Structure 1
């Protein structure tokens, strides 16, 4: 049954991404990045509708009151990365347009990658860490100034459920450079949507938004350790069976 649900959900994503990609491409020719972003978010909402009703995955969110308020508020979101689900889900929760930091190869994905290319995000070459860091700081500063929130996965890649990766400091360096607060976010999406593998399973997945971590006058390494400590402790709270 889980395989059938997963096949139907994939068909749902493929059928809906094509018209939405066309809408994003057309909108980007005449409208601002912000307007184009909200057009794209409507597709994420459609995907999450299918995730709930086709896959049987139920979503729970905690800590939304911790997010910055105000149209001009800045934030660097540092998110635990377990599967593709959080990249689809988080945009539907946020009140600001997001700018993801992601590997450049994703732009090659038909339709999905084409849309990402039109959304003015931060795509990096992970083979050159120094150049990638410089690019994140330069583009992140510009996008934050435009009212976007920058979202990064500090472990750099999807991490197996119940494990902890190496946290890199690019996100906290950007926060310190710009004075934007850091928002640590824990996700337990791999409970239903595995890091690798096609089949998804029904159940409950959770996202937990942590308290703001001020960046002004901070050391990026110390700030990252604070974010990491909160995320990993919260992971054990929202997905305790993964850490037995």
Structure 2
């Protein structure tokens, strides 16, 4: 039954997503605000499709603070990568440079207002990342980062990537850890399962803490739902 649900979801959601993604650059011509609204519509479609076809609900625990802040989230599945952009009202998401280089789509992503991170981490790349981050804060937008650097299976809690500490230090705003439990219903491979995705927002961590202290607090916060 889960496999049949997954097939039905994929046929419905991805068949609509392909033209929507291809049309995104057109919406980008009307400005970042229009593109962000368009992206939120796509995220709402995913959430509705997941609930109807897969039986996946979601629950938010804690308080989503008013920004701008840095949201540091656990990453277990595609679900939160899309849904958090809607839930957090179009934050500036930290994105790998490789994704931002995709023709047309990469231009639209930059138009949306992402923060591109280059793993080479040379001085020019770091300056560009900080410039984009400060520009987002100046617009009143929060920033979202997956500080472990990649999607991980449930139960795993790797160390944070170095880029998080640099962003925290340079932008000098609070960071809010988000624990996510989604991999149990939305595995990387195979059928998806009915259940509840949980987002737990921790207390804001003030700026200016030593690197070791803030990393420990964030690591603990984003892994608060790990069994």
Summarize deviations over 1:128-186 as a string: whole Å, max 9, x none.
13455444323212222122211111110111110111112423432332221101000
CA contact (8 A) 1:21 1:115 kept: no
Distance in 1 between residues matched to 2:107 and 2:195, nearest whole Å: 32
80-89 vs 96-105, greater mean Cα deviation: 96-105
The alignment partner of 1:30 has SS state of coil
Q: 1:79 to 1:214 in 2, by over 3 A?
A: same
Give the aligned length.
226
The CA deviation string for residues 41-84 of structure 1, in whole angstroms up to 9 with x for no partner, is 11110011001110111111111x2412xxxx311110011111
Deviation of 1:13 after TM superposition, in Å, equals: 2.4
Alpha-carbon separation, structure 1, partners of 2:100 and 2:183: 24
Partners of 2:30 and 2:83 in 1: CA distance: 27
Alignment of 1:101-120 (within 5 A): 101-107=94-100, 115-120=108-113
Q: Is the 8 A contact 1:80 1:154 kept in 2?
A: yes
Give the drift of 1:225.
1.5
Residue of structure 2 in register with 1:62 after alignment = 61
CA contact (8 A) 2:40 2:90 kept: no
Report the CA distance between 1:193 and its aligned residue.
0.5
**What are structure 1's unaligned runs of at least 5 residues?**
237-242
Equivalent position to 2:193, from 193, 201, 210: 201
Q: Determine helix, strand or coil for the equivalent of 2:200.
A: strand
CA contact (8 A) 1:76 1:171 kept: no
Which residue in the other structure is 2:209 paired with? 218
* CA-based RMSD: 2.4
**Equivalent residue runs for 1:42-191 within 5 Å:** 42-63=41-62, 65-68=63-66, 73-94=67-88, 96-107=89-100, 115-126=108-119, 128-130=120-122, 133-191=126-184
Distance in 1 of aligned mates of 2:148 and 2:221:
14
1:88-143 deviation line (CA, Å, top 9, x unaligned):
1112212x3211112233357799767535423123333x1345544432321222
Matches of 1:114 and 1:18 in 2, distance apart?
A: 17
Could you tell me whether the CA contact under 8 Å between 2:17 and 2:42 is conserved in 1?
A: yes
Contact persistence 2:96–2:116 (CA under 8 A): yes
Task: Provide the C-alpha distance between the structure 2 equivalents of 1:199 and 1:108, rounded to a whole number of angstroms.
Answer: 31
Q: Write the distance in 2 (CA, Å) between the matches of 1:75 and 1:160.
A: 27
Is contact 1:169-1:224 (8 Å) kept? no
